[in-house]
Structure 1
Amino acid sequence: MATAEGYLRRLTRRLTEDPEKLDVEELSDEAAATGAQRAIDCRRGQEVVMVGTLRSVECNGKGCAGGVRAELFDGTDAVTLVWLGQRRIPGIESGRTLRVRGRIGKLDSGAKAIYNPLYEIQK
């Protein structure tokens, strides 16, 4: 009986809550389940392992000579991934889920970044 009540409660929540909020919570829970650090908790200079979804991927600079930039979102915060000297990276595209490893730095804008991260494509 309790299982049916729990299912009904979850179903009602899914039908009534904002879909974007549910997606953020689901993404955050998935990242936490892998043992990865949450982006919101990461600080400059820290070596991290993160899991998240790429929200955008673009070339940076003239003819992409400046590298590839991608925004990784884990449900708590976004981190910009920067691959210097790359024009294109196969498999790095919006909507993909990645596990990345690297040291947190900062962009000129003050946003968190990881330069030349090691990565594994999850989905």
Structure 2
Amino acid sequence: MSAEGRPPRRRWKLFQWPGAKGTDDGDLAGDEQPADAGCTRIRDCAEGPKGREVVRVAGTLRAVSERTVAGMPALQAELDDGSASLDVVWLGRRSIAGIEPGRAVVASGRIVRSHGRQVLFNPRYQLQPRGQE
């Protein structure tokens, strides 16, 4: 209790993503990290003995299509980083603004194997600014 008989006010901390402006978690001269900082090459992503670890990959969307998975709509895209490609699938979505062929994307999640292909289901993703593809 404070001196006035009221409970003390809570002070909230704002969360900042790593690499966000104002954070000091890189050795770059500017305030921003490059899009592929901390990313794993797609060809190096695999299910290891420790289980499916969360990976972060960066690449260009080569193809985007709509399909049905277990009776529900899904948006599927092929993400290619030059070393290999994988499928990125958003379940329950028919489209997502900005998800289109030629767009650079950073995505993170757990990779699984489905029909012989590596797949990221419902990943966290960040669209890169146009012109930086």
Match 1:101 to one of 89, 98, 108: 108
> Matched residue of 1:40: which SS?
helix
Q: Any conservation in 2 of the 1:65–1:87 contact (CA below 8 Å)?
A: no
Identify the structure with the greater strand proportion: 2
> Matched residue of 1:70: which SS?
strand
Specify the alignment match of 1:120 in structure 2. Answer: 126
Q: How does 1:15-94 map to 2 (within 5 A)?
A: 34-44=37-47, 45-61=52-68, 65-94=72-101
Separation in 1, partners of 2:67, 2:82:
25
Separation in 2, partners of 1:95, 1:47:
25
> Matched residue of 2:83: which SS?
coil
> Matched residue of 1:95: which SS?
coil
CA shift at 1:110, angstroms?
A: 1.1
**Unaligned 5+ residue runs, structure 2?**
1-33
Q: Percent identity?
A: 38
Aligned residue-pair number: 91
> Matched residue of 2:65: which SS?
strand
Separation in 2, partners of 1:57, 1:65:
17
Code of the aligned partner of 2:84: D
Runs of 4+ in 1 over 3 A off after TM superposition: none
CA shift at 1:34, angstroms?
A: 2.2
TM-score (norm 1): 0.68
